[in-house]
Amino acid sequence: MELGDILVAQELVTTEELSKAGEYQRENGGRLGDALVAVNILSQEQATAAIAAIPPAPNNIADTGLDPVFLLQLFIKGMFAENLELPSQFGEALCLPANVISQLVAEATERKFIESSGAAEAAAGSALQEMRYGLTKAGREFAVEAMNQSQYFGPAPVPIETFCN
């Protein structure tokens, strides 16, 4: 969830006020919190408190609070059902940061569920090149078994305990 969405959900700003701050931000640059303060929608204290209340992104699989096997199943189902091949695609689909995706790729590779199929072309204007991954026979079998248990594929869920805090 982005800062603007959180602020609207907490009823600290309206969507109209968010748009006004967004216009200011586009014209002047900087961060959204600073723009909200500059156009007198939030005080510096309110902006600082709202930003401090945002939960941190997980740094590793354990930080997600989810069963590692569940995350691995979700990851492999994405490759199987959605034909995902690149770490950036995995991260976008699962809504997980790159370091968690790297751990899932390493775990899936170690279990011989996936293998690298070479480097993908860098996107236009990007100097970054990603490895492309594909499912092995064992990976496809694991994916079918995981799909039989649950066909859900999408963003990694947030454990209820984490959500309530």
DSSP characters for 78-124?
HHHHH---SHHHHHHHHT--HHHHHHHHHHHHHTTSEEEEEEPPPPT
For residue 7, the enclosing domain spans: 3-52
List pLDDT tens digits, range 68-88.
Answer: 999 999 999 999 999 999 999
Q: 114 and 134 in one domain?
A: yes
CA 146 to chain CA mean position, Å: 21
CA distance to 6, 13, 100, per residue, from 42 (Å): 14, 8, 34
For 84, counting Cβ atoms within 10 Å of its Cβ (0-12 exposed, 13-18 middle, 19+ buried), the class is: buried
- Residue 134: give its domain's CATH number: 1.10.10.10
For tokens 């995706």, the residue is 101
* Residue 61 pLDDT > 90: yes
Q: Per the domain annotation, does 41 fall within a domain?
A: yes
User: Do 29 and 94 share a domain, yes or no?
Assistant: no
Residue 68 shares a structural domain with residue 33: no
Residue 14 lies in a domain: yes
pLDDT given at position 57:
86
In terms of domains, do 151 and 81 share one?
yes
Q: Quick one: 114 exposed, middle or buried, by C-beta within 10 A (0-12, 13-18, 19+)?
A: buried
Whether pLDDT at 1 is above 70 = no
Q: Does any domain span residue 57?
A: no
pLDDT at 123 over 80: no
Residue percentage of the chain with pLDDT more than 90? 71
- Tell me, yes or no, whether 7 lies in a domain: yes
Has residue 92 got a pLDDT over 90? yes
Q: What is the DSSP string of 17-35?
A: HHHHHHHHHHHH-S-HHHH
69 inside domain: yes
16 and 83 inside one domain:
no
Q: How confident is the model at residue 155 (pLDDT cuts 50, 70, 90)?
A: very high
Residue 9 lies in a domain: yes
- Predicted local distance difference test score (pLDDT) of residue 129: 80
66 and 128 assigned to the same domain:
yes
Residues 28, 71, single domain; the answer is no
Residue 126 has pLDDT above 70, yes or no: no
The total of structural domains in the chain comes to: 2
Contact 66, 59 (CB under 8 A): no
What is the overall mean pLDDT for the chain? 91
92 in a structural domain: yes
Query: Do 93 and 115 belong together in one domain?
Result: yes
Checking if the pLDDT of 8 tops 80, the result is yes
Tell me the pTM: 0.75
Tokens 């007198």 label which residue?
40
Contact 77, 143 (CB under 8 A): yes
User: Does 83 reside within a domain?
Assistant: yes
pLDDT range class, residue 127, cuts 50, 70, 90: low
